[in-house]
Amino acid sequence: MREATDPALKRARSGKGPTLLEFNCYRFVGHSRSDPANYRSKEEVEKWKKRDPVTVTRAKLVESGVMSAEAILELENQVKVAIDAAVTEADKSPVPAPEECLEDIYA
């Protein structure tokens, strides 16, 4: 990710315009709650779960001594609390008028 995003960031900051970055990822579940994803074997899914960037990064952080497993769990809990608070705030917010849907998109 960093190898791709660093040059894109430098390009944008130097005024040379945007860069389109495409990142491929693997879905561990079906397209929806009603999709059991029977078109993939359990072995295939397990193979890809072992390559999950979050799991791999978490293990590297612990193995290298950058973070402890406890510190990672605490950080994950802090993120969950922040997300839950944002969702609660969004749920309490009024629904915007349809004519507002394109405001501030192309600033």
Chain Cα centroid distance, residue 54: 9
Known catalytic membership, residue 106: no
In this model, does residue 107 exceed pLDDT 70? no
State the pLDDT confidence band at 102, using cuts at 50, 70 and 90: confident
In this model, does residue 63 exceed pLDDT 60? yes
The total number of structural domains in the chain stands at 2
- Give the ranges where 1-107 is alpha helix by DSSP (H): 2-13, 42-50, 53-63, 69-92
- The one catalytic residue in 2, 31, 33, 51 is 31
Same domain, yes or no: 9 and 29: yes
User: How far apart are alpha carbons 83 and 80 in whole angstroms?
Assistant: 5
Same domain, yes or no: 35 and 59: no
In a domain, 27, yes or no: yes
- The one catalytic residue in 2, 13, 33, 39 is 39
Contact call for residues 48 and 28 (beta carbons, < 8 A): yes
Section 51-63 average pLDDT: 94
In a domain, 104, yes or no: no
Known catalytic membership, residue 39: yes
In a domain, 106, yes or no: no
In a domain, 59, yes or no: yes
Known catalytic membership, residue 31: yes
Kindly state the greatest CA–CA separation across the chain.
Answer: 51
- Please give the residue range of the domain that contains residue 71: 52-93
